[in-house]
């Protein structure tokens, strides 16, 4: 058996057995997803801020897809906002 096959089997087994710690429901995940993504973007321990989220995302493809989409969107907004603030500082600093 190849290493990739072993990894795939381990993932399947983990999904069948479920998480070892706390896990959120889909409704709880939806309610907390914004907060979780904000923590990720801020570089804060998101898994500690929203216990059970990581386990749920690993076991729920639908919520994991929502997470990926929101993270991608929020990342682009976060980068745009930081770039815009930098441009504003440069512009205002040059005008002084």
Span 7-23, mean pLDDT?
A: 75
Predicted TM-score (pTM) of this structure: 0.65
Q: Where are the domains of the chain?
A: 3-95
pLDDT, tens only, 30-73: 999 999 999 999 998 999 999 999 989 988 999 999 999 999 99
Maximum distance among all Cα pairs of the chain, rounded to whole angstroms: 67
Nearest C-alpha neighbor of 75 from the set 38, 36, 32: 38
């Amino acid at each position: 058996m190849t290493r990739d096959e072993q990894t795939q089997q381990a993932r399947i087994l983990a999904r069948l057995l479920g998480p070892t710690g706390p896990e959120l429901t889909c409704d709880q995940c939806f309610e907390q997803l914004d907060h979780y993504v904000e923590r990720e973007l801020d570089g804060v321990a998101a898994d500690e801020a929203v216990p059970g989220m990581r386990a749920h995302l690993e076991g729920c493809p639908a919520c994991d897809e929502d997470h990926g989409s929101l993270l991608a969107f929020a990342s682009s907004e976060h980068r745009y906002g930081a770039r815009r603030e930098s441009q504003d500082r440069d512009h205002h600093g040059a005008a002084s």
